[in-house]
């Protein structure tokens, strides 16, 4: 079971013990999830990687080139639940970032918890996770989740996690909830340096890691199409991007530095990875590639710069782990989902692409806005909060089960 949970969805795996003559159980396991990071980024940008980041995995580790999610709702919540548990949404219970709860007659956020101070917990996670199983097998092992996004940190770490920490721009800094035995002093100490880190990055300028001539070939970001990008927090849609707030920083690759820095502080403060026969597990969620990826698209200059910067940031992280743990740790890298091109950019590149108006102005298909009155507010609410999904009429579904004589299915599909 543990083997299944660790291997089913990981795209890259590197163990420092692979370089030793007699590999042994690692004392520390680090799982890195890069939000919105398709495998194609590895092949597209590999010529511009250094030696210590992604290439270390591609050359000296294991690379799973066909690690695909066998479900359609590849959102952040289901993806990070899958990384942490090895299960698809039907088994993990995390079917979206938000869904309609028929019992509560309203939207349910995937990690929302009104009973926890701080508002978040893994209460909706329905399955055991890798972290749970490690702790069951090795009494005294500790499991942590760290990310900008609460749902990334919480769902990867699992229900029995020692703690999970996520970034709150209003602090600005990392926080947790009363569900966990969190180390408030750890968070407070790190958060004191966050304002200085923000000030150290007043501007996001394009790096020179990729030669200008190559950028024209591997990106598609003409000035005339930048109107289809999205500007948030005053960042604009072209380089250079001025960074004025903590929130703005998270929409740049420098947001990765917040997470990696906190993860390193966590490992040091909690004294993880000791040689006591009890492996510790740390999940690290790099959320910034997703934030900025939605704004600028995968074909943009910003996406290209983010990938090569992330490579260098990970290399520095692994260098620090090498110095501290030598051959006593293992790292795996994956992603919760990929990304598609901005439709107007894709069309300009010669692809058959466009946008669909989900408001269905011509009434050619049924949407929640056109549900018959008998469907009621409940079905309308479900359709509104389930994302891009097909919704069956509840009465029609129940009629099919009744006609088939399989009344037991009615209880399974309330």
What per-residue confidence (pLDDT) applies to 196? 96
Q: Which of 15-19, 87-91, 222-226, 262-266 has the lowest mean pLDDT?
A: 15-19
What per-residue confidence (pLDDT) applies to 334? 95
Bridge-based pairing state of the strands 329-334 and 12-15: antiparallel
State whether the Cα torsion 215-216-217-218 is positive or negative: positive
Complete DSSP assignment for 95-124: -SSEEEETTTTEEEETTB-TTSTTSB-STT
d(CA 414, CA 411): 6
Which of 239, 216, 205, 221 is closest to 342 using CA atoms?
221
What per-residue confidence (pLDDT) applies to 290? 98
Q: Per residue in 371-404, pLDDT tens?
A: 444 444 555 555 555 555 555 566 776 676 666 5
Q: What percent of the chain has pLDDT over 90?
A: 74
Q: What's the CATH number of domain 2-348, 3.40.720.10, 3.65.10.10, 3.30.70.20, 1.10.3720.10? A: 3.40.720.10
Higher pLDDT, 326 or 358: 326
> pLDDT band at residue 36, thresholds of 50, 70 and 90?
very high
Question: How confident is the prediction for the chain on average, in pLDDT?
Answer: 87
d(CA 167, CA 191): 10
Which residues, at least 6 apart from 306, have a Cβ–Cβ distance to it below 8 Å? Answer: 252, 253, 288, 289, 292, 293
Q: Which of 94-103, 294-303, 384-393 has the lowest mean pLDDT?
A: 384-393
Q: Per residue in 225-249, pLDDT tens?
A: 999 999 999 999 999 999 999 999 9
Average pLDDT over residues 350-376: 62
d(CA 323, CA 314): 14
> What is the set of active-site residues?
76
Average pLDDT over residues 279-304: 98
The answer to whether the bond into 172 is cis (omega within 30° of 0) is: yes
What b/e readout covers 33-59, taking b as 16+ CB neighbours within 10 angstroms?
bbbbbbbebbebbeebbeebbbbbbbe
Average pLDDT over residues 395-414: 58
> pLDDT band at residue 105, thresholds of 50, 70 and 90?
confident
Q: Per residue in 41-77, pLDDT tens?
A: 999 999 999 999 999 999 999 898 888 899 988 999 9
The conformational region for residue 332 under phi > 0 = left, psi -120 to 50 = alpha, else beta, is beta
Average pLDDT over residues 299-306: 98
Domain residue spans in the chain? 2-348, 368-412
């Amino acid at each position: 079971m543990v083997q299944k949970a660790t291997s089913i969805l990981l795209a890259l795996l590197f163990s420092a013990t692979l370089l030793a003559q007699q590999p042994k159980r690692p004392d520390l396991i680090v799982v890195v999830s890069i939000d919105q990071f398709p495998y194609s980024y590895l092949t597209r940008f590999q010529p511009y990687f250094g030696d210590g980041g992604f290439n270390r995995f591609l050359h000296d580790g294991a690379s799973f080139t066909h690690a695909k999610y066998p479900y359609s709702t590849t959102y952040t919540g289901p993806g990070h639940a899958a990384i942490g548990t090895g299960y698809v949404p039907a088994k993990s219970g995390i079917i979206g970032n938000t869904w309609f709860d028929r019992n509560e007659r309203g939207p349910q956020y995937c990690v929302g918890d009104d009973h926890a101070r701080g508002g978040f917990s893994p209460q909706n996670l329905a399955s055991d996770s890798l972290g749970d199983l490690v702790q069951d097998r090795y009494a005294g092992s500790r499991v942590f989740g760290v990310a900008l996004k609460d749902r990334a940190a919480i769902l990867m770490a699992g229900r029995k996690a020692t703690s999970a920490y996520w970034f709150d721009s209003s602090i600005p800094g990392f926080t947790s909830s009363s569900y966990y035995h969190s180390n408030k002093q750890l968070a407070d100490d790190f958060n004191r340096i966050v304002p200085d880190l923000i000030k150290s990055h007043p501007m996001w300028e394009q790096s020179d890691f990729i030669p200008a001539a190559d950028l024209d070939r591997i990106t598609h970001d003409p000035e005339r199409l930048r109107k289809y990008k999205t500007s948030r927090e005053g960042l604009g849609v072209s380089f250079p991007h001025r960074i004025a707030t903590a929130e703005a920083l998270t929409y740049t690759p420098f947001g990765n530095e917040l997470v990696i820095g906190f993860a390193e502080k966590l490992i040091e403060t909690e004294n993880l990875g000791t040689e006591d026969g009890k492996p510790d597990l740390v999940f690290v969620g790099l959320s910034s590639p997703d934030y900025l990826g939605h704004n600028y698209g995968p074909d943009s200059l910003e996406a290209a710069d983010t990938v090569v910067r992330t490579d260098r940031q990970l290399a520095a992280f692994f260098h620090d782990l090498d110095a501290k743990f030598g051959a006593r740790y293992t790292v795996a890298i994956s992603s919760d989902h990929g990304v598609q091109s901005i439709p107007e950019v894709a069309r300009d590149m010669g692809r058959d692409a466009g946008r669909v108006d989900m408001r269905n102005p011509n009434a050619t298909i049924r949407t929640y806005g056109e549900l018959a009155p008998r469907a009621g507010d409940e079905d309308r609410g479900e359709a509104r909060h389930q994302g891009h999904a097909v919704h069956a009429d509840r009465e029609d579904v129940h009629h099919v089960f009744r006609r088939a004589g399989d009344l037991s299915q009615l209880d399974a599909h309330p």
